Amino acid sequence: MRMFVSSVLVMFTLVSVVPQAQAQSSHAAPLTALEAAVQDHVASAAADREAVARLLARPEVQKIAGEAGIDMRRATQAAATLDGAQLTELAAQARQLEQSLAGGQSSVTISTTLIIIGLLVLILLIVAV
């Protein structure tokens, strides 16, 4: 019985030491990779904010917002506070709308007007919540 207890004690000791020895190996990413990832994230967020700001600065958008009674100054300030998934989604919609307006269209169709109003209302709702 003593031999059995001793062998179990040795087994538990070995099992508890082995994970500690493996834990000393380095699996962390190098500092340069982490810095690059952070810089990419910051650049992406800045590009998304710029896309939304460009759309909000367009005369067509300001005209439609004025007709809908939406305060553009408040919408612009609200868009500047967005981040994460909300900013990414809004920027994708802004880029899509900007592409449709940039093709030399001189008139804004009803669907574009609805998208612009929807985006402005979405910005205000996100900030209000």
- pLDDT, tens only, 96-113: 888 877 765 555 555 677
Q: Closest Cα partner for 79 from 24, 120, 18, 109?
A: 120
Residue 118, domain extent: 35-128
Tokens of 88: 């990414």
Residue 13 resides in a domain: no
Residue 122 resides in a domain: yes
Predicted model pTM: 0.59
Residue 117 resides in a domain: yes
Residue 4 resides in a domain: no
pLDDT value for 47: 92
Residue 83 in 3-state DSSP? coil
Residue 58 resides in a domain: yes
Residue 8 resides in a domain: no
What are 35-53's pLDDT values in tens digits? 889 899 989 999 999 998 8
Tokens of 72: 């553009």
What are 51-74's pLDDT values in tens digits? 988 888 888 888 888 888 888 888
Tally of domains within the chain? 1
Residue 9 resides in a domain: no
d(CA 73, CA 67): 15
87: Cβ contacts below 8 Å, ≥ 6 apart: 45, 48, 49, 52
Residue 82 resides in a domain: yes
